[in-house]
Copies of this chain bind each other. A is one copy, B any other.
């Protein structure tokens, strides 16, 4: 099967051979103002015109599944380096009405400030939704979304991936609110501070918050290198 793509260098429309019967769908999360949000695309044409869906696409013959997902994310969000992980394949016989298509689910975590929408020629609109505002999506996309949420909740506790949802510089309260929102629990501020700081995974910056009507909080940055180093020594992140 042959599909049309926009060539990333020339900007021209080119035709590429894709794998038949397999697609990719991606749940893109971000964190804004205390809310976990998901990027949805409104289909512009075809049988699902007007309905909201997860961003998705085809896999080219010469690229790996991960590369296809990366490309897709780049095409949709303009971001080159982001946290991306495969969930699993979804393949109920009736999931896609026009034939037997298996889709491979991915989820990505991005900083909202990095986001720059580039709606492709098959998407009329793209919008961030708070979880509670998401209604019925096309095909089995609600199932993929729910699975990704479960996965995110489990993983965020056991790996420092939450930082991918925050700006480069953040306060401890922002971090705590992120965990509260993702996990759906309340946390104790003093205890959370101590727990996180004890891990020595944050770089305390000299800077502070600006323009807040209360004592300005210190800003922190996640220390990737130190996390790598500690992990090699057997450290296990756990919130």
Contact = CB atoms under 8 A, between A and B. Distances in A.
Interface stretch (A56-64, A130-138, A208-216): A56-64
A88 B88 contact: yes
B21 A63 contact: no
Interface stretch (A3-11, A33-41, A89-97, A108-116): A89-97
A172 interface: no
Nearest to A66: B91
Contacts of A20: 20-21
A89 B104 contact: yes
A87 interface: yes
Nearest to A99: B61
A88 B21 CA distance: 17
A63 B19 contact: no
Interface string A44-79: 000000000000000101111100000000000000
Interface of A: 19-22, 59, 61-65, 86-93, 100, 102, 104
Contacts of A19: 21, 100, 102
A22 B20 CA distance: 10
B92 A89 contact: no
29 contacts: A19-B21, A19-B100, A19-B102, A20-B20, A20-B21, A21-B21, A21-B22, A22-B22, A22-B102, A59-B91, A61-B93, A61-B100, A62-B93, A63-B93, A64-B91, A64-B93, A65-B89, A65-B90, A65-B91, A65-B102, A86-B88, A86-B89, A87-B88, A88-B88, A88-B89, A89-B89, A89-B104, A91-B104, A102-B104
Nearest to A91: B65
A59 B90 CA distance: 13
Contacts of A92: 64
Contacts of A62: 93
A64 B143 CA distance: 15
A91 B88 CA distance: 12
A157 to B, nearest CB: 10
A92 B104 CA distance: 14
A62 B87 CA distance: 23
Most buried by B among A88, A91, A93: A91
Contacts of A64: 91-93
